[in-house]
Amino acid sequence: MLALAIALLLVNSWVRWATADYRFDDLASIPSQQVAIVFGAGIRNNQPSAALRERLDGAIRLYQAGKVQHLLMSGDNSQVNYDEVSVMREYALAHGVPASAITRDYAGFSTYETCYRAKAIFGLDQAILVTQDYHLPRAIYTCRELGLAAIGLSIPDWSHQPEQATTYYPPMTQVRYTTREWLARCKALFEVHISQPQPTFLGPTVGLGETTSAQQ
């Protein structure tokens, strides 16, 4: 058990250290890129969850500040009655982002699949990732190991700049998310360095712009 705990600590420390130079806290300091990738974080009654709303707000700020020209919204549309990315799109449209600046990835079922498909399907070589700080190191590490030169805008949470966070995370939620994330980082290293699975849906490169199929 001690060896397992040490291994877990080392993996998580490595992922944070390896991505430290690619994580940014504010718009002023982050370099401009063509595209920001927004990771899904759940919807409720066809509205973004609090965490997802924070990510969308961050991406919208990037667009409004001229730091990016396009938003790639990646999430879950595995069920007919659960269309995460369309809810994300509608939120951005309501906040002034034009439809021409939004692309939906309907098959971003995990961080790994989002990063893989961003390069393989949408043809991205670099991007700004937008997600909470606890998740950002894994997202950046995964994308960069898959050949996408990612940097990230850190959305405040309980672990980083908590005084600026707009979502309240109860203590037990913090523990659950932290534990899950530590394990997910171990899985991420296994996926990008050893198993290298293909995403659930894969097809030809189509670039940015709306498509009619969740598989493209």
Task: Map tokens 């500040």 to a residue.
Answer: 65
Residue in 118, 116, 159, 111 with CA at minimum distance from that of residue 139: 111
pLDDT of residue 18: 95
Residues 126-156 as b/e (b if ≥16 CB within 10 A, e otherwise) read bbbbbbbbbbbbbbbbbbbbbebebbbbbbb
Q: What's the CA gap between 60 and 54, in Å, rounded?
A: 10
Q: What's the CA gap between 38 and 68, in Å, rounded?
A: 12
Query: What confidence tens digit (pLDDT) does each residue in 36-63 have?
Result: 999 999 888 889 999 999 999 999 999 9
pLDDT of residue 55: 95
pLDDT of residue 106: 93
**Neighbour-count burial of 107, counting CB atoms closer than 10 A to its CB (0-12 exposed, 13-18 middle, 19+ buried):** buried
Q: How many CB atoms lie within 10 A of CB 52?
A: 25
pLDDT of residue 209: 82
Comparison of pLDDT for 105 and 4, the residue scoring more: 105
Range in 36-40, 87-91, 164-168, 180-184 with the lowest mean pLDDT = 164-168
Residue in 213, 198, 190 with CA at minimum distance from that of residue 7: 190
Q: Does the pLDDT at position 215 exceed 90?
A: no
The amino acid at residue 101 is: A
The helix/strand/coil state of 110 is: coil
Give residue 216's pLDDT band: very low, low, confident or very high (50, 70, 90): very low
pLDDT of residue 81: 81
Residue in 83, 101, 55, 117 with CA at minimum distance from that of residue 210: 101
Query: What confidence tens digit (pLDDT) does each residue in 73-82 have?
Result: 998 887 878 8
Q: Does the pLDDT at position 133 exceed 50?
A: yes
Q: What is the mean pLDDT of residues 163-168?
A: 86
Q: Does the pLDDT at position 211 exceed 60?
A: no
Q: What's the CA gap between 19 and 140, in Å, rounded?
A: 7
Range in 3-7, 89-93, 152-156, 192-196 with the lowest mean pLDDT = 3-7
pTM, to two decimals: 0.92
Quote the strand ranges of 2-145, DSSP E: 23-24, 35-39, 43-44, 47-48, 70-74, 102-105, 126-132
Give residue 162's pLDDT band: very low, low, confident or very high (50, 70, 90): confident
Query: Cα–Cα distances in Å, from 137 out to 15, 16, 25, 130, 162?
Result: 6, 6, 13, 11, 17
